[in-house]
Structure 1
Amino acid sequence: MGKLTAEMKEFIEDVKLCVAATADSNGMPNASFKGTIQVLDDENLVFADIFSAKTRKNLQENNKICIVVADHKKMVGYQFKGEAELLDQGELYDKVCSAVEGLNLNLPKPTYVVKIKVTEIYPAPAAS
């Protein structure tokens, strides 16, 4: 099981952008930028599904996900692998929707919130 350190949490909050990699039931990969990545706690990440039709479809077929958060200027980052859960109601959904609204970017309400149970963590030098 992956435990996020204080350093990892701070890194994610500072970078605020990640790439989410998923695959459908046939193994066809998809990678998508996510600008709403947040740390939920020591074992979970979360992002808003706003314009993520392919990511959503893949996660409905295959809940495995990999999140890469990197600082391209420093050439450092992390790779978080885990299992995703799609949420369309409840306290966490409402909290993430409020955070998205607070960005003042005139974005639509998230279709889902993707909660990721982190199972593996790897340092991810952006150059490799």
Structure 2
Amino acid sequence: MALITDDMRDIIASAMLSYAATTCPDGTPNLSPKGSVRAYDDEHLIFMDIASPNTIANLKANPSIEINSVDVFKRRGYRFKGTAELLQPGHAAYEWLNSWLLDLNGPGYPAHQAVLVHVDRVLPIDSPAYTFGGAEEKELSDTWFSRYEAVHNARAGQGSVGEIQ
């Protein structure tokens, strides 16, 4: 049975930045942004270890991981819970992701190893606006896009962030 649906793939792609949560040896959480998360197949996510020494050290000690991907405009996403496996250059999944990264960014990023996550469980992340406000996705997406646009325009000298409603 496929755990990773087309909608989940779309959210991961539109989010462009996901967050990986691991557990440090002292039991505290480690949350790390990942710009290379992709759905590898119907049961696995994958991301590249580019600058993730703490994440990798934590996964070597405890392979449990959660990855959150949220489309900031749609105000919804998914929590992917699973178990990580470290893949070295030469592994087919590593090469697949590395090829995508090279096409996207060109050379220059150190791709040390890939992290393949076997997804055991997926939970939705939804804004309370859907539950309590009865909002529609298009309405939320348009509203939040306008808010982000206003912030970026203010930073570009086209207004003040304080003016954002």
Structure 2 length as normaliser, TM-score?
0.71
Structure 1 unmatched runs, 5+? none
Higher percent of residues as helix: 2
Instruction: Give 3-state SS (helix, strand or coil) of 1:102's partner.
Output: helix
Task: Report the counterpart of residue 12 of structure 1 in structure 2.
Answer: 12
Q: In angstroms, what is the RMSD of aligned CA positions?
A: 2.0
Structure 2 unmatched runs, 5+? 129-165
Higher relative contact order (CA 8 A, sep 6+): 1
Q: Deviations over 1:69-92 (max 9, x none)?
A: 002222211100000000013111
* Greater CA drift, 34-43 or 2-11: 2-11
Change beyond 3 A, Cα 1:124–1:92: same
Q: Deviations over 1:40-79 (max 9, x none)?
A: 1111000011000110000000000000000222221110
Higher percent of residues as strand: 1
The percent identity for this pair of structures is 36
Q: What pairs with 1:1-128 in structure 2 (closer than 5 Å)?
A: 3-89=3-89, 90-104=91-105, 106-125=107-126
Aligned AA for 1:52?
S
Q: Deviations over 1:3-44 (max 9, x none)?
A: 111211222122221000000233221001000111111110
